[in-house]
């Protein structure tokens, strides 16, 4: 009898102990909807002479409770962030300036996060022509330490323009900050080049994008160190 009672109690303990359901599901990254990528946004509502209110929209993401929108003015590199449970939010931003925007997904039951793609757009202003978007540096990342191959490092970036008339990229690269040595001028399809480096040295580089009308944009200066 005692053995049977022990079996029953043991079974009840197992039943009440609960199973391990594993970690909570991780949130997924959203799909951006509006403002469109590499576009001019003309739907903003005037707030002041210098500001207009733009509504950002994205598709809902699985396993997500909250969204954090980040919008960065690419001329000043100043970000604006706002959190919401909705899939759209309005934000007042400068007219006639280029911006990048992305959305972070979070889940109340998980420490994991997911980030969407980053899209570029111009907020419409009084101008009729726009400078290219500042080149977006891909590698080496700012502040990183990289391994050279045969004393060379790959420098890569992406470029975009509302009017699609980029003519050249000028790559400046040196041990001085800011870099003033023109390393190479490339055509619109070439967004990668090689830089000669020495182990242990810090290097600075930037990309100037020039369109058919002579408009220019500056990526800003990025640095990296070589092993």
User: What CATH number should be reported for the domain holding residue 97?
Assistant: 2.60.40.10
Cβ-proximal residues to 202 (8 Å cutoff; 6+ apart), any chain: 175, 223, 224, 225, 226
pLDDT digits (tens, 9 = 90+) for 67-121: 999 999 999 999 999 999 999 999 999 999 999 999 999 999 999 999 999 999 9
Instruction: Give the range of the structural domain holding residue 165, as residue numbers without chain letter.
Output: 136-226
Asked whether the predicted pLDDT for residue 5 surpasses 80, the reply is: no
Higher pLDDT, 14 or 99: 99
Which of 123, 148, 175 delimits the end of a domain?
123
By DSSP bridging, strand 182-186 and strand 66-73 are unpaired
- Same domain (yes/no): 106, 147: no
User: Residue 13: what pLDDT?
Assistant: 45
Are 85 and 58 in contact by the 8 Å Cβ rule? The answer is no
Q: What is the pLDDT of residues 193-202, one digit of tens each?
A: 999 999 999 9
Co-location of 107 and 146 in the same domain: no
The 10 Å Cβ neighbour count of residue 203 is: 23
* Average pLDDT, integer, range 40-56: 95
Last residue of a domain, one of 123, 148, 170: 123
pLDDT for 22: 75
Q: What percent of the chain has pLDDT over 70?
A: 91
The pLDDT of residue 37 is above 70: yes
% the chain with pLDDT above 90: 86
3-state DSSP assignment of residue 30 = coil
> Is 2 among the domain residues?
no
Q: Is there a domain that residue 10 lies in?
A: no
Question: Per residue in 188-222, pLDDT tens?
Answer: 999 999 999 999 999 999 999 999 999 999 999 99
Contact 47, 36 (CB under 8 A): no
Could you tell me the pLDDT band of residue 127, with boundaries at 50, 70 and 90? confident
What SS3 state is found at 173? Answer: strand
Residue 176: pLDDT above 90?
yes
Q: How far is CA 95 from the centre of its chain?
A: 21
Query: What's the rounded Cα separation, in Å, for the pair 184 and 172?
Result: 7
Instruction: Assess whether 108 and 142 both reside in one domain.
Output: no
Structural domain includes residue 159? yes
pLDDT score for 216: 96
Both 107 and 50 in one domain: the answer is yes
Structural domains of the chain, count: 2
Task: Determine, yes or no, domain membership for 25.
Answer: no
């Amino acid at each position: 009898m005692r053995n049977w009672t022990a079996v029953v109690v043991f079974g009840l303990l197992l039943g009440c102990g609960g199973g391990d359901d594993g970690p909570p599901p991780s949130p997924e990254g959203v799909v951006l909807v509006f403002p469109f990528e590499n576009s001019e946004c003309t739907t903003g509502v005037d707030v002041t002479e210098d500001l207009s209110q733009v509504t950002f929209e994205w598709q809902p993401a699985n396993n997500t409770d909250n969204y954090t929108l980040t919008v960065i003015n690419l001329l000043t590199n100043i970000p604006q962030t706002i959190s919401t449970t909705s899939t759209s939010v309005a934000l007042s931003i400068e007219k006639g300036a280029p911006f990048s925007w992305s959305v972070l997904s979070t889940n109340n039951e998980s420490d994991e996060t997911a980030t969407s793609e980053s899209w570029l757009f111009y907020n419409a202003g009084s101008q009729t022509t726009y400078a290219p978007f500042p080149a977006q540096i891909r590698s080496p990342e700012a502040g990183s330490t990289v391994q050279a191959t045969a004393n060379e490092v790959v420098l890569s970036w992406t470029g975009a323009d509302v009017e699609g008339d980029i003519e050249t990229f000028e790559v400046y690269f040196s041990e001085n900050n800011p870099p003033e040595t023109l390393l190479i001028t490339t055509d619109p399809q070439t967004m990668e080049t090689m830089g000669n480096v020495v182990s242990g040295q810090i290097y600075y580089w930037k990309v100037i994008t020039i369109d058919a009308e002579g408009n220019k944009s500056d990526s800003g200066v990025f640095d990296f160190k070589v092993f």
